[in-house]
Amino acid sequence: MSDLQGFGYNSPDSRGARHFYGRMRTFFSFLLLLVGLCQGQFAFAAHAFALHGAPKYPPGFTHFDYVNPDAPKRGQLSLSALGNFEKLNPFTLKGIVAGGLESLMFETLTVSSEDEAATAYGALAEDIEVGKDRLSVTFRLNPAARFSNGDPVTASDVKYSFDTLIGKLAHPRFRQYYADVRRAVEVDARTVRFEFKRVNPELPLIMGQLPVFSKKWGGGKPFDQIVTDAPIASGPYLIDRYETGRFIIYKRNPNWWAQKLPVRRGMYNFDRISVRYYKDELARMEAFKAGEFDFLYENSSKNWVRSHKGPQWDRGDIVKKLFPHQNNSGMQGFVYNTRRAKFADVRVRKALALAMDFEWMNKQLFFDAYTRSNSFFTNSELAATGKPDAAELKLLEPLRSKLDPAVFDEVPQPPTTTPPHSLRDNLRQARALLAAAGWTYRDGALRNAKGEPFEFEMMLATRTFERVAAPFARNLEKLGITMRYRVVDPALMQKRADSFDFDATIDWFLTGQSPGNELYSWFHSRSLNEEGSDNRAGVHDPAVDALIDAIVQAETREQLVAACRALDRVLRVGWYFTPHFHSRTHRVSYRNKFGIPVVLPKYYTAESWATRMWWSKD
C-alpha cells in the first residue's frame, strides 16, 4: 500500500469501472484486515493496527472524521505556558523542554485516531506487519518521508532513535516503556523490525509511537549534551526563533512531506505557532486580556467564573466556551510518598483522605463546577464498581493471600460530608485509624511512640493549588497534624519529583482509553527507585505488579476492562491518593478569529486539539 490516498471512496478519479474495482479492492483489503487482526491466523502488511477489534477507517480513507480536510494553511496561533524552559531536547532527564516542541517537530511511525480507543494508522510507516507469533512488528517506511534537513527517513534512523532512547543518556522512562522490546533490526533501508521479549498485545501500538530523529542531530555529541541544538526531525514545524525561558516561535515547514497523508490532512494549519511564558496565572490572565496570546485553557473554576469576562467577551472579540469530551479522567489527588515512614501505613493514608471535605470545597471555592473523582480510571468503563464480578475474581482469587480482604468487598468510595455524613464523623474515624497506626494526640500535636510530631510538606506546582491545600491543612490541624504547603519553582519541582525528594504533592495519573505499558512507570515495583519514573507514591505491591501484567497481556477488550477494574480496586484500597475532582468539559477562551471543526474528537486535550486542527479564518 504505497499510496494511502490512491484508492479511497472519495477519490475524484473513481468513476465507472475504476470506481467499482476501487471499491471492491478496498472492501477485500478491509475484510482481510479484519480476519488477520481479529483471528490472528496470519501476518500481513496493513495500513493500521487495532489493539482490539478492527480499525474504524478502511484502507484508502482520505481523512479523519473530526478534521476539516480543506482547512486553509495560513495565519498564526499564540499560546502560553507557565514557568520557563531551558532545552530543546525533550528526551533527556535534566531540564525543562520548550512547550510544544515534541508534538510539533517529531513525527512518529504511526498516528492514533482520536475517535477510537486504541487504533493507530501509518504515518512515517506506510504499512505495519505484526509477526505470526506476535513477537515482532515490522514497519515499512514511506519513501516520501523526509527530515527537516531534506534527508530521507531511513530504517537506520529509526533504529538509532530507539537505541538512543533506551540508552543511559536518555530519560529513564523510555527504558521502562520499551522494556519488553528485545531489539530493533534494520531489515533494509526502508524496513525496520522490532523484536519482543514476550507476547505483549500493546507493543505494536507502543512502537508506532516511537519519536524518530536524525542521526545527525547534535553533530555527534553525547545525547545528554544535546541541549539547545535544533532537532532534526520530520514533523510539521521548524524553530523560527526563541529566547530561553521567555518564548519560542515555530514556523510551518512549507516542504513538510506528510501534509497530504490521510492521517495529517486538515491538520497543522497555522503558518506560525508561538508559546510565551509567564511567571504565574495572574500574569498570564492579564497578558491574555492584553492580546499577547490567543487561546487559554482554564483549569481553575474560580478564574473561569471571575476572570474570563469583560468588554472583549461582551463584544465577542473573545469567545468563552465549554467543549465536552469523553476522556478517561484518571485520578488527580494528594499523593503521599510511601518511601517516607509516616506514610507507609495504609491506615494513615486513609485517615488523611477522611480529612478532605470535597463538598465544602466544591460549593465554597469551585462554584459546584466539579465532580468527585472516585477511580484511577474515572469517567470510563474501566472504573471498578460494587463488588468484583466473575471476570475480576478470576484475576483476584490467585492473589488473595497478597491482598487486603477489603478488595473483595464493595469498592471504597472517597469520603463524603453529604448528610448523613459529616466532617466531624469523618475526623473521628480518622483519629481512630491514626491511633491504631500508633499516632496519638499529646503535648499539642499528633505524635508517634517516639514522640515525633506528625508534620509534612505538601509540594505544589502552582498557586492555584493553594486553594485546594489550605482547607485540607485546616482539617488536618484538627487531628493534630501540621501540613505546610509550598509552591515550588518548576525546575526544582521537576528535580525533586524525579528523585522522590518530597513528602506529598498533587499529582494526576492520566492514561488513555486502553491503559498498558505506562502503568509500569506509575505503579510497578520495578519503577520504585527508578529516577524520573512516575511512581510518585512509591507503590511496590506484588499483586499490583501481577495485575499490570494482566492488563498488558489482555487479548480482548473484555479482558482489559476486567484487569483494569481489578487493579483499580487494589489501588483504591491502598489509599495512595486522596482523590480530588474532575470536569467533563474543557473550559476555553479564545480570540474570535479561528475556524473549528464541526465534529469533535472523542478523546482529546484542548490545547493540542486547537494546535493541530483549528485554522485561521483571516
What's the confidence (pLDDT) of residue 5? 29
Per-residue pLDDT band at 523 (split at 50, 70, 90): very high
Amino acid identity of 439?
W
The answer for residues whose C-beta is within 8 angstroms of residue 238's C-beta and 6 or more apart is 105, 148, 230, 250, 251, 252, 253
Nearest to 130 by CA among 53, 200, 55, 26: 200
pLDDT band at 21 (very low <50, low <70, confident <90, very high): very low
Q: Retrieve residue 26's grid coordinates.
A: 478496498
Residues 230-257 have a mean pLDDT of: 97
Helix (H) or strand (E) holding 36: helix 16-39
Q: In whole angstroms, how far apart are CA 101 and each of 88, 122, 251?
A: 7, 21, 12
∠ at Cα 189 (184, 193), nearest 5°?
A: 25
Residues of the chain with CATH 3.10.105.10: 331-582
User: What percentage of the chain carries pLDDT values higher than 90?
Assistant: 85
Burial of 215 (0-12, 13-18, 19+ CB in 10 A): middle
Pairing label, strands 455-460, 581-582: unpaired
pLDDT computed for residue 40 by the predictor: 40
Look at residue 18 in the predicted model and tell me its pLDDT: 31
Question: What are the C-alpha distances in Å from 535 to residues 256, 456, 595?
Answer: 38, 19, 40
Is the omega angle on the peptide bond into residue 69 within 30 degrees of 0, that is, cis? no
Which position has the grid cell 530543546?
Answer: 88
- Please tell me the least confidently modeled range out of 210-214, 582-586, 592-596: 582-586
Average of per-residue pLDDT across 258-276: 97
Model pLDDT, residue 537: 97
Residue 70: φ, ψ to 5°: -105, 20
Q: In the predicted model, is pLDDT for residue 17 greater than 80?
A: no
- Distance between CA atoms of 525 and 516, rounded to whole angstroms? 15
Q: Helix/strand/coil (H, E, C) string of 318-338?
A: EEEEEEECCCCCEEEEEEECC
**Domain covering 331-582 in this structure, CATH number:** 3.10.105.10
Cα gap 473→314, rounded to integer Å: 39
Question: What is the predicted pLDDT for the residue at 46?
Answer: 87
Q: Is 183 helix (H, G, I), strand (E, B) or coil?
A: strand
The x, y and z cell numbers of residue 231, run together, are 532537532
Nearest Cα to Cα of residue 310 among 285, 281, 279, 292: 285
Say which residue, 304 or 44, is predicted with more confidence.
304
**Which residue in the block uniquely carries the three cell numbers 497578558?**
287
- φ, ψ dihedrals at 232, nearest 5°: -105, 95
Cα 506 to the center of its chain, rounded Å: 16
According to DSSP, the residues that pair with 233 across neighbouring strands are 213
pTM of the predicted protein model: 0.81
Give the range among 400-404, 472-476, 488-492, 599-603 with minimum mean pLDDT: 488-492
The CB-side HSE value for 193 (13 A sphere, CA atoms) comes to 12
Position 38 pLDDT exceeds 90: no
Contact between 122 and 4 under an 8 Å Cβ cutoff? The reply is yes
- Give the integer Cα–Cα distance in Å for 431 and 438: 11
* Residue 44 banded pLDDT, cuts 50, 70, 90: low
- What would the mean pLDDT of 575-597 be, rounded to a whole number? 96
What pLDDT shows up at residue 41? 36
Beta strands per DSSP E along 134-197: 136-141, 181-188, 191-196
- pLDDT tens digits, 542-565: 999 999 999 999 999 999 999 999
Which ranges of 510-556 does DSSP label H, i.e. alpha helix? 518-523, 542-552
Write down the pLDDT at residue 13. Answer: 33
Cβ 61 vs Cβ 33: under 8 Å: no
CA separation for the pair 585, 603 (Å, rounded): 11
pLDDT reading at 27 higher than 90:
no
pLDDT value at residue 618? 81
Residue 357: pLDDT band by 50, 70, 90 thresholds?
A: very high
CB-based contacts of 367, cutoff 8 Å, min separation 6: 301, 302, 305
